[in-house]
Amino acid sequence: MKNTMLTMFFAFVFSVISAQSEDDNIAQIDRKTLIEEYLQLSESDSRKFWKVYEEYYKKVEKNNNERFERFESFLENDSIPERELRKMVKVNSYVKQLDAMLLEQYYEILRKRISPEVAGKFYHFEDAMNSIALAERYKQWNVFDED
């Protein structure tokens, strides 16, 4: 049952993304609506969840902005010294680790404050959305040629 619900949810998310025009991007998807539909929280749990989620999402956005700024500077420069490239790789790797630790940390917070089920759904939703957002960003930068 859980696998069926999860599959249906992610099919819904992908269909929403696919239905967007070429000029749209993942940031314009109403995450809050998708989360509310997926989690089906009570009013009391919803208040607790959104307080935690807003704190989590601010941190994630900060990490993503830093990562994307570095990647954009990489794309804009034809030649970057090897030392700088190595530094960029290390910093990017560190930011990815921070993202993973942040997701795990907020999973634990939600597990304790609301329930393991809500925390698990949060974890899977965010993991999927972060992957989708990254893929969309790479698509905008023409990292992958679409021939």
In a domain, 64, yes or no: yes
In a domain, 87, yes or no: yes
In a domain, 133, yes or no: yes
* Integer Cα distance of 76 and 80 in angstroms: 10
Spatial CA neighbour of 96 closest among 54, 68, 124: 68
Looking at 20-115, list the stretches that DSSP marks H as alpha helix, in order from N- to C-terminal side.
Answer: 31-39, 43-76, 82-113
Other beta carbons within 10 angstroms of residue 76's beta carbon come to 8
| Number of separate domains in the chain | 1
Q: What is the largest CA-CA distance in the chain?
A: 54
In a domain, 93, yes or no: yes
Q: How do residues 18-44 score in pLDDT, each as one tens digit?
A: 444 444 444 456 888 889 999 999 999
In a domain, 146, yes or no: no
47 backbone dihedrals φ, ψ, rounded to 5°:
-60, -45
In a domain, 15, yes or no: yes
In a domain, 147, yes or no: no
Q: Is residue 114 over pLDDT 90?
A: yes
Q: Which domain holds residue 93?
A: 2-140
Question: Residue 47 to residues 38, 115, 137: CA-CA distances in angstroms?
Answer: 16, 14, 31
Place of tokens 């329930």: 115
In a domain, 35, yes or no: yes
81 backbone dihedrals φ, ψ, rounded to 5°:
-60, 145
Q: What is the pTM of this model?
A: 0.70
* Integer Cα distance of 74 and 4 in angstroms: 41
Q: How do residues 44-93 score in pLDDT, each as one tens digit?
A: 999 999 999 999 999 988 887 777 777 776 666 667 788 877 887 788 78
